[in-house]
Amino acid sequence: MSNHDLQNASTTPGLPLSLGIGPLLEKADVEKHPRALDRRSLMVAALCVGLAVAMTPIARCLMGLIGLITNLVFYGRVSFDLVSPAGTGLGVALVAVPVLGSIVVGLMARFGSKAIRGHGIPEAMEQILTNDSRIPVRMTFLKPLSAAIAIGTGGPFGAEGPIIATGGALGSLIGQLIHVTAHERKVLLAAGAAAGMTAIFGTPFSAVLLAIELLVFEFRPRSFIPVTLAALTAIMLRPLVFGTEPVFHIAALAAASPAALISYGLEGVVMGLFAVLIAKSTYVIEDLFEHLPIHWMWWPAIGGLCVGLVGLVSPHTMGVGYDNIERILSGRFVGTALMVFCLLKFVSWAVALGSGTSGGTLAPIFTVGGSLGVMIAEAFKWALPGMDIDIRMAALVGMAACFAGASRAFFASVLFALEITGQFNTLLPLLAGCCTAFMVSAFLMKTTIMTEKLARRGHHVPSDYVPHPRPAET
């Protein structure tokens, strides 16, 4: 083991010096006060910038592919624009579309790579923790293709999970083609993921924080500087590839009063409970599929059948659903219609995800979280008519708080919602809601929707960034 590796091992979160590393370090000729960045870090940073240059058009291609498949199968036309399947006139035949798409995904998983199943982030985390961040080369192509087929044929997922997985796979591929250390390969993986998320949503700060909280597992300059440069590169290139229009158009929100902050904090408590329900129910459904007397290759078809049947009742539950998020944030989607939509969207997404098809989690969680946030605000206004709470702000807080509770990516959740609105007035309500949601989730559940699968496989996922200081020399 080299001095560089010994030093890395001594500062890895979750790896105590009591495992024998400490005595070895005492004997090794390790620099007592290492630089925060060195020449290797600059080389990795340059690679991350180049990676982001490649990932931005790749993200656009993925969105275009989803749009192409959606237009072909639901409307019989050639177009790369994202559209909702809700406007199709297929009638009952609509049910067959997600079933056929899911069968294709199942075949790709069986004969291509089983790792394409799920939303991608837990699989990337597993490769980081157990395989030195080495993701199989075929995942670079199979993950986005399978996700585009699943979502394009009506799957109730967002594109963010697949593009994060694709960016991570491309970064890992570069790290396998070029001689780098395991840590440097991990940084490349995280940078690719951050660049992909930034390209899709235009949210560089939250993309960096998501990479740190869910992929890098440390907060050091040699990690966050290259990842930040990748996100900055992606946001600079985004107008050339995606245009200047924001993903969501959100009206101005007024600053919250102290009384309103309390109500958003209480909303976060409910969202924390709901986040626990989301995480546990998806894995309960996954366990139910495990007991089916058929090969797992056919499970996504069952999930696709559920998606199609729900789509007959509520067509807006199908597809990426970014238009649903915008409707919820407008404050005009309320009442019984929203309640029914929220329930059906959750059922469709949870069953489809539990079946092992390919898709993302952020957009669906934002959709159901925002819906519940609106319903909580309506309940507050009914119970306490004088309560100072804005339904639109409650929707935004519900989205972020639900994701914070389900994933425990606290800072990424707050900053994502702040960045998509571009409004500083949302910061304090988001902090209030996400903080209480995180507290409830962490108290009631040891794992998260991202880490439960890894915990079942016996893997420990670091969650606390703590130093391992050595005693000062006298």
CA distance 147 to 138: 14
Torsion of the alpha carbons at 395, 399, 405 and 408, rounded to the nearest 10: -140
The pLDDT tens digits for 67-77 are: 999 999 999 99
Determine whether 143 is exposed, middle or buried from the number of CB atoms within 10 Å of its CB (0-12, 13-18, 19+): buried
The pLDDT tens digits for 116-134 are: 887 667 777 877 878 778 8
**pLDDT at residue 310 tops 70:** yes
Share of the chain above pLDDT 90, in %: 55
**pLDDT at residue 366 tops 60:** yes
**pLDDT at residue 95 tops 70:** yes
Determine whether 418 is exposed, middle or buried from the number of CB atoms within 10 Å of its CB (0-12, 13-18, 19+): buried
**pLDDT at residue 21 tops 80:** no
**Neighbouring residues of 229: CB distance < 8 A, sequence distance ≥ 6:** 45, 48, 49, 52, 191
pLDDT band at 12 (very low <50, low <70, confident <90, very high): very low
Q: Tell me, what's the pLDDT at 328?
A: 94
Average pLDDT over residues 423-436: 95
pTM summary value = 0.86
Outline where 202-298 has alpha helix (H).
Answer: 204-211, 221-242, 258-290
**pLDDT at residue 10 tops 80:** no
**pLDDT at residue 460 tops 60:** yes
Number of Cα atoms under 13 Å in the Cβ half of residue 75: 18
Give the long-range contacts of residues 452-455, CB within 8 A, separation 24 or more.
Answer: 452/279, 452/283, 453/118, 453/122, 453/126, 453/283, 454/122, 454/125, 454/126, 454/129
CA distance 457 to 447: 13
* Closest residue by Cα to residue 406 from 438, 364, 379, 358: 438
Amino acid at 98: P
Q: Which two tokens stand for residue 249?
A: 């158009």
Angle at 231 between CA 225 and CA 233, to 5 degrees: 100
User: Could you please report the per-residue DSSP string of 348-376?
Assistant: HHHHHHHTT-B--SHHHHHHHHHHHHHHH
Tokens 């910061």 map to which residue? 427
pLDDT band at 142 (very low <50, low <70, confident <90, very high): confident
Tell me the average pLDDT of the chain.
86
**pLDDT at residue 3 tops 50:** no
Helices 258-290, 391-407: inter-axial angle, 10-degree rounding: 50
* Closest residue by Cα to residue 63 from 140, 151, 192, 195: 151
**Neighbouring residues of 346: CB distance < 8 A, sequence distance ≥ 6:** 278, 364, 368
Q: Which two tokens stand for residue 280?
A: 């546990």
**Neighbouring residues of 167: CB distance < 8 A, sequence distance ≥ 6:** 51, 55, 58, 59, 191, 192, 193, 194, 195, 196, 197
**pLDDT at residue 13 tops 50:** no
Average pLDDT over residues 168-191: 91
Range in 40-54, 296-310, 317-331, 376-390 the model is least confident about: 376-390
Higher pLDDT, 445 or 34: 445
CB 42 within 8 Å of CB 230: no
b/e burial code for range 348-358 (CB count within 10 A of at least 16 → b) = bbbbbbbbbbb
CB 94 within 8 Å of CB 88: yes
pLDDT band at 79 (very low <50, low <70, confident <90, very high): very high
CB 150 within 8 Å of CB 347: no
- For the chain, give the number of residues: 474
Q: Which two tokens stand for residue 177?
A: 């083609």
Q: Tell me, what's the pLDDT at 472?
A: 52
CA distance 319 to 216: 30
User: Could you please report the per-residue DSSP string of 98-146?
Assistant: HHHHHHHHHHHHHHT-GGGSB-SHHHHHHHHHHSTT---TTHHHHHHHH
Q: Tell me, what's the pLDDT at 214?
A: 87
Q: Which two tokens stand for residue 284?
A: 């309960």
pLDDT band at 465 (very low <50, low <70, confident <90, very high): low
Average pLDDT over residues 147-154: 91
Amino acid at 25: L
Q: What domains are there in the chain, each with its CATH number?
A: 42-242 (1.10.3080.10), 258-456 (1.10.3080.10)
Number of Cα atoms under 13 Å in the Cβ half of residue 237: 25
